[in-house]
Structure formats: C-alpha cells, structure tokens
Amino acid sequence: MPGPSDRLSAGQTGTCARGARLLIGSAGEVACDLALDEILLDRGEAVARVWTPARRGRLSACPCVSTRSQECVRQHAQAGEAALAAVLGVASKARDELRAEACEADGVEILRRQSGGAAVLVGPGVACFTIVFPYASCPAAGTIGGAYRLAASTVARALDAVGVPACACCRTHADRRVELQPPGDLACGGRKVAGMAQARRRLAAMVHGVIPVEIDPGDLDRYLAHPPDEPAYRAGRPHGGFVAAVSELADGCTTPRVLDALAEAFHLPRSSPSADELAEAGRLAARKYGTREWTFRR
C-alpha cells in the first residue's frame, strides 16, 4: 500500500495501451476543452492530450455578470488572447470556492468540469493535460489511486525534464523530489506544483489536471476562496503560499516548454484533435459546459 506521499518512479508510464493517441492543442474556448475531455472519456479509448487555452469569446451567464465584465471578455477576444477562467469541480459550490465579485470585476470566466476536486484557474501560464485509461488495457487504472499514480508518473517525468527537482533541491534538502500527495496533488518541497482530478466510466478512467507555470500565485488568492476541504500537507496555507509556479522552481521555464516536456513524456506520435472531434466538442459546450444551468447547478 502506498504511503501518504508516493515517490514516483521515472520508469513508470502514463499510458497503457498500444496505439494510444497524443493530441496537442486546445479545442478553442475553455468550455470546448472541457467538452472534448468528456467526449474522449466516453469513447473509452487510450488517449492523452496537452493544451493551454487558445482564446476566450464569451462569459458564462452568471446572475451577477456586469457590463464591465462582458467588456473584459470582448477585449481579450478582439485581441486574440486567452484570459483566466475559474473551473469548478463537478460537486463544487461556487459560493464556497470562488471569490465571485473579483471574478466578475476582472472578466474571469466561471465554468464547471465533469471531474471532482476543488476549483482551479486555467489560462495563460497554465499547462493542462488529460489522460484516458481504458481498464481493459490498463488494469492499474481500475482504482482511483492507481489511475492517479499512473498519470502522476508521466507528469513527474515532464517536470523533471524542465528542471523542477534539480532546482527545488539543495544540498541541505536532498530528499526533495516531486511526490504524489493524495488524493491528486503533485508536490515538491511541500508545495503543490500540479493538481489532478478524475472522472470514471464503466470502461475507462480519465485523469486531467493543471500545472501552474507562469501564473501569478496572487491571482489564485484573488479569484479562488480557501477550499472547504484541504489535504493535510497544505496545513492551512493560502493559495499563494501553497502553490509553486514551475517558473519559480525552474528559473526561466515557460509554459510552451512544459507542454513540450509533457508531450515528450508520453512517447507517442503527436496529432491534433480531428475536425469531427472539435465540432462535437463545440456542440456539447453549447448545450452543457457553456450554459448557466450546468455551471451554476450548485
């Protein structure tokens, strides 16, 4: 049985099936990225995806959205820029996990994903990943902990490639390495460097997560409330003192560098989501992930 924190083996693999696909790139709006993850999970095929938001063109219909917030979104869209989005877990309560007034004032889009866990920020400076594990070809993913360990091994390998363990270590703290902190955090030196969440179906499990690379930790405290539940190793720390940006640990590291390291860690040929997958994601986003009914269900 694994202990409270698992040292990860660089020899483990994050994908289990031959013929698995590696998809590179965003589906467009963050709502479409969330929809694409659901589509890939429902298909139950071995697939991995690395991405960072490509653009923002709309704001979820929050009851308190103002003209100012809508204008923030329009300005980012006209400039072809992505902006921050706060993504709730499937069971999250917005009033408990978000600082709604700050999100509204700054045009931070509020969305909800299909997986568990607490709210996260995605946007420029955040590297995102998704892995689908079919149980038939990857029996280790048959348990929640097993799926997290498989995904964490790949993410840890990518972080090692960009220098996180080397830069986070020193001669007096030689035991510091990237470790899995249950249920789904990756931590280095007691600070969170990646967060994962999970959704499961009858035939497959999906683990997706975020790696803060160049994001300002102050944004986490501005837009996210302290979570109602926290892992023991957090010890009550605010977001800014608990989360470590990769660029802080590996000086000069960029989001494209982390995305490339993630892609390399999978050892799979790279491709893009198909036109049919993007179209299906757009339709699902329109009827679910981009709607007020889904986002503010709790």
Rounded to the nearest 5 degrees, what angle is found at the Cα of 282, between the Cα atoms of 16 and 71? Answer: 120
Q: Which residues of 210-242 are buried (b: 16+ CB within 10 A; e: fewer)?
A: bbbbbbebebbbbbbbebeeebebbeeeebeeb
What digits encode the pLDDT tens for the residues 241-252? 999 999 999 988
pLDDT at position 78 over 70: no
- Closest-CA residue to 223 (of 115, 79, 72): 72
CATH 3.40.710.10 fits 6-295, yes or no: no
Where residue 1 falls among pLDDT bands split at 50, 70, 90? very low
What digits encode the pLDDT tens for the residues 174-189? 445 789 998 999 999 8
| CA dist list (Å): 25 to 55, 61, 170 | 12, 26, 35
What digits encode the pLDDT tens for the residues 117-170? 999 999 989 999 999 999 999 999 999 999 999 999 999 999 999 998 644 443
pLDDT at position 253 over 70: yes
Domain ranges of the chain: 6-295
Instruction: List the strands of the sheet with 270-271, edge to edge.
Output: 6-7, 178-181, 185-188, 191-200, 204-212, 126-134, 47-51, 21-24, 270-271
Distance between CA atoms of 104 and 187, rounded to whole angstroms? 31
Distance between CA atoms of 291 and 125, rounded to whole angstroms? 26
What digits encode the pLDDT tens for the residues 79-91? 445 589 999 999 9
